[in-house]
Amino acid sequence: MSEPVRFVSQKVDLDYKVVTSPVARRFDEQMRAGRITGHKCPECGLVYVPPKGFCPIDCVITDESNEVEVRDAGTLTSFTVITPIQYQGQEEKEEYVLANILLDGASGTIGQQRVEGIPHSEVRMGMRVKAVWGGDPNEGSRGWGLTGAIKHWEPSGEPDEPKEKYQEHVL
């Protein structure tokens, strides 16, 4: 006896071109040159990484003249261990860690960053991490992600930061 057919999956191929904004393009170029950059708001002084091209708090436009470089190291403020859901096109098969990381010199975190080189059970909030450069430059980061240049993050070996340092930086 065969099961009745209830669903027929139909895959759709869609080729599209993403037009990268000038701010994202500049950020991407700098990443490929090994520099993580952000924009410092001239009003409030907050440093946005990646740059948005504006400060949403003060509603002012920012550009290259507001560019600052931040360190390729920071503090892990929160994380999750993902068990990848196997949907059509999912290439992830094994559990992996995704973390929010507050880079030294940035005012907010970068989200969903892969952390490797440490057993998952030992990953912790407040842990110091550094970038491992050398990602696939052709990987589609669409100019906003860090994956084009940075493979992942790993523990830096520095002492953990105390709670007060990371608690207000979930995002």
Partner 1 sequence: MSSERVAVVGCGQTHHRKVRDDLSMAGLLREAAERALADAQMDWKDVDAVVIGKAPDPFEGIMMPEIYLADALGCAGKPIMRVHTAGSVGGSTAVVATHLVSSGVRERVLTIGFEKQSEGDTTWGLGGGRSGSVGAGGYFAPHMRAYIDRSGAPDYIGPAVAVKDRRNALKNPYAHLKLENLTIETVMESPYVWEPVRRLESCPTSDGAAAMVLTNEKGATEGAAWVHGTAIRSELGQFPGRDPVNPRGGRDCAADVYSQAGITDPFNEVDVAEIYVPFSWYEPMWLENLGFAAEGDGWKLVEKGVTDITGELPINVSGGVLSSNPIGASGMLRFLEVALQVRGLAGEHQIDGARTGVGHAYGGASQFFAMWVVRNEKP
What's the closest the beta carbon of residue 9 comes to partner 1, in angstroms?
Answer: 9
Single out the residue of 83, 69, 80 nearest to residue 125, CA to CA. Answer: 80
Q: Which two tokens stand for residue 111?
A: 């989200």
Q: CB-wise, 33 or 162, nearer to partner 1?
A: 162
The string of DSSP codes covering 64-100 is GGGEEEE-SEEEEEEEEEE-----TT----S-EEEEE
Q: CB-wise, 33 or 121, nearer to partner 1?
A: 121
Q: CB-wise, 57 or 61, nearer to partner 1?
A: 57
Distance CA 54, CA 57 (A): 9
What's the closest the beta carbon of residue 38 comes to partner 1, in angstroms?
Answer: 10
25, 51 Cβ separation under 8 angstroms: no
Q: CB-wise, 65 or 91, nearer to partner 1?
A: 91
What's the closest the beta carbon of residue 103 comes to partner 1, in angstroms?
Answer: 12
Q: How many CB atoms lie within 10 A of CB 50?
A: 23
Give the interface with partner 1 as residue ranges (CB under 8 A). 6-7, 12, 14, 46-48, 56-57, 77-85, 87-92, 98-100, 107-108, 111-112, 120, 125, 140, 163, 167-171
What's the closest the beta carbon of residue 131 comes to partner 1, in angstroms?
Answer: 19
